[in-house]
Amino acid sequence: MKLKIFFTIIFIASSLFSNAQKVRFKAVFVNQCTHKIEEETNYTVIGSPKYFGNLNYEGNIADLPDTGVYKMYINLNTDEAFDIKIETFGFSSDTFYLPKINNVSYMSNPPFSEYFNCDSLCNGKLTDYYYNGKMRLTSVFKNGQVIDTLKEFYRNGNVKSIYYPYKKRYKFAGQKYHEVLRINYDKNGNCLNYKDSKLGIEKKYYQNGKLKSEYYFKNKNKNYTEYFENGKIKISINKDTKNEYFLNGNLKMHMQKHESFSDKLFRKINRTHSILITYEFQEFDSIANLLRNGKFISDNWEYIFSYRFPECFNKITAKDFREILYQTNPKTKEIFHWNLYYENGDYKGTKTIVTKYELTGDNWIEISKREIINKKFK
């Protein structure tokens, strides 16, 4: 009997010790509009890219592997992560206010959104708070629209974003919109990005505060520049040219648009028509040796230029290339000819014949030929 009691005590002590070594966390959410606890609110606790908090949905409790700092996301909202610091083993909890001021976006063309304070449109000066008493959001509203500076804050009190609607408006798709200024910050107060649609400027920054990219888009001569963290230019784009660079500063790829005056005039008159434009390109290695150069024809400058090298070339179909010269020894080149492609008399897409030549002395000698078929979408 005594032996049985002894083992029972050992088992209970072992269970208590085992439970004490576990980390269990529960988030409590308070609805500010109803002043009630929302039991059905979903949240995810993440400790690292390899670990997701295991939720026991009966009690909405997260079983965690260890103490430490975790990130919590509410209702799969990845725009805002709450830092959860757990310093002791066992059970712990934290309380959060669910926002009472929310921006509601509608599926419409043009896009439209408005702010609600609980179930009513926002009007006047309103402020929303976190459970710890710090401000979450504050602004002045009229019929659900922001009419003065809107500030959002992190839970630690640092500014998250600043949004300011200028009085000047522009018209798009029959609707009038405010020019706006928007600045976003990280939790430590470092500026992440800055956009002023009135001045036509957008800038992004690395976490160390150095400039990552700048985009000027107000006038017709739009230009974009992206930088490495050491301050050297990584990409530069203007209305006719795209250059990409290696980290050592040497040119990696150069692309130039060639559009005749008649093409520009036709495009200006016929805005709904696409114009095929000739582009020339050069590719270099990191020590400035030319690897290949050539030309292609396309009707979508913005689409091609939005991708980085070499992905931008992967977006160009074979039928758009005209020639590529490879700076090999001996030199080789590929000439592209395309035509419509049919199967059993039915149009199926395009077929590009790529003929490869090798430079022998002063003559180009054909060495191979291949076909590339681009079938149309069904």
The residue out of 98, 123, 140 marking a domain boundary is: 98
- Residues 112 and 214 both lie in one domain: yes
**Same domain, residue pair 197 and 176:** yes
3-state secondary structure the chain: CHHHHHHHHHHHHHHHHHHHCCEEEEEEEEECCCCEECCCCCEEEEEECCEECEEECCCCEEEECCCEEEEEEECCCCCCCEEEEECCCEEEEEEEEECCEEEEEECCCCCEEEEEECCEECCEEEEEECCCCCEEEEEEEECCEECCCEEEECCCCCEEEEEEEEEEEEEECCEEEEEEEEEEECCCCCEEEEEECCCCEEEEECCCCCEEEEEECCCCCCEEEEECCCCCEEEEECCCEEEEECCCCCEEEEEEEECCHHHHHHHHHCCCCCCCEEEEEEEECCCCCEEEEEEEEECCHHHHHCCCCCHHHHCCCHHHEEEEEECCCCCEEEEEEEEEEEECCEEEEEEEEEEEEEEECCEEEEEEEEEEEEECCC
Q: Is residue 329 part of a domain?
A: no
Same domain, 192 and 106: yes
Q: Is residue 372 part of a domain?
A: no
Whether 115 and 87 share a structural domain? no
In a domain, 125, yes or no: yes
Q: Give the predicted TM-score (pTM) of the model.
A: 0.75
For residue 181, the enclosing domain spans 99-218
Look at the chain and report how many structural domains it folds into. 2
Residue 27 sits in a domain of what CATH number?
2.60.40
Please say which residue of 71, 98, 125 terminates a domain: 98
124 plus 112 within the same structural domain: yes
Q: Do residues 15 and 114 both lie within one domain?
A: no
Residue 373 falls inside a structural domain? no
Whether residue 161 lies inside any domain: the answer is yes
Last residue of a domain, one of 199, 218, 237: 218
Residues 129 and 67 in one domain: no
Report yes or no on 126 lying in a domain. yes
Query: 194 and 112, same structural domain?
Result: yes
In a domain, 9, yes or no: yes
CATH number for the domain spanning 169: value is 3.90.930
Residue 205 and residue 111 share a domain: yes
Do 89 and 146 lie in one domain? The reply is: no
Q: What is the pLDDT along the chain (378 residues), one digit of tens a residue?
A: 544 544 444 444 444 444 456 888 889 999 999 999 988 888 888 874 434 444 444 567 888 888 888 888 887 666 778 888 889 899 989 999 999 999 999 988 777 899 999 999 999 999 999 999 999 999 999 999 999 999 999 999 999 999 999 887 666 556 666 789 999 999 999 999 999 988 899 999 998 999 999 999 887 778 899 999 999 999 998 888 899 999 999 999 999 888 765 555 555 555 545 567 888 999 999 999 999 999 888 776 666 777 776 777 677 777 788 899 999 899 999 998 888 888 888 888 888 899 999 999 999 999 999 988 887 654
Task: Tell me, yes or no, whether 73 and 123 share the same domain.
Answer: no
